[in-house]
Structure 1
């Protein structure tokens, strides 16, 4: 029974170090961008992919601007619902005060 839960392989930490050269990476990206602008294609697998961080930032700002108007409407709607619930509870308490007090055990 105990063998059913044993692992055959031992879990080892295996770290393979990598060398990263930021200057080389910048140079290669610059070359890809220039080749893409000039229309020179060496191979399709290394197609230029632009940095999309700025695009995400723009989309975030647009969506945030769209949400600003909706947040006010949501708050007003929530406030109105809470007022209606409070008034309904107040009406029930005033109308059926004896039954409510019995229900609460007072």
Structure 2
């Protein structure tokens, strides 16, 4: 008999593997039908613009550049936050609680100075 507890033990991670089967008959039938459709001009991909694929590739490359810039900004923001935290800890060690009061006075001054410009 299991006793109830406040701490929940983690369960084992379970996963479901769906095996893939190779069916040569099905693949042969698909190849034949696609070849026949191509000969008859009924190919579904024939209606697509030939430059469509390159447009998609170009848009992915363009978005990757934007994502890279976002990563740089994120790294810079993390670095700034880390430096501010280190300064607060160092100020707390050397000055004491007064560092927080100085920060409370200095932050509104910075905001006022930025709004004035």
Q: TM class, shorter-chain normalised?
A: 0.3 to 0.5
The structure that has the greater radius of gyration is: 1
Q: TM-score, normalised by structure 1?
A: 0.45
Task: Give the structure, 1 or 2, with the largest relative contact order (CA under 8 Å, sep 6 or more).
Answer: 1
Q: TM-score, normalised by structure 2?
A: 0.41
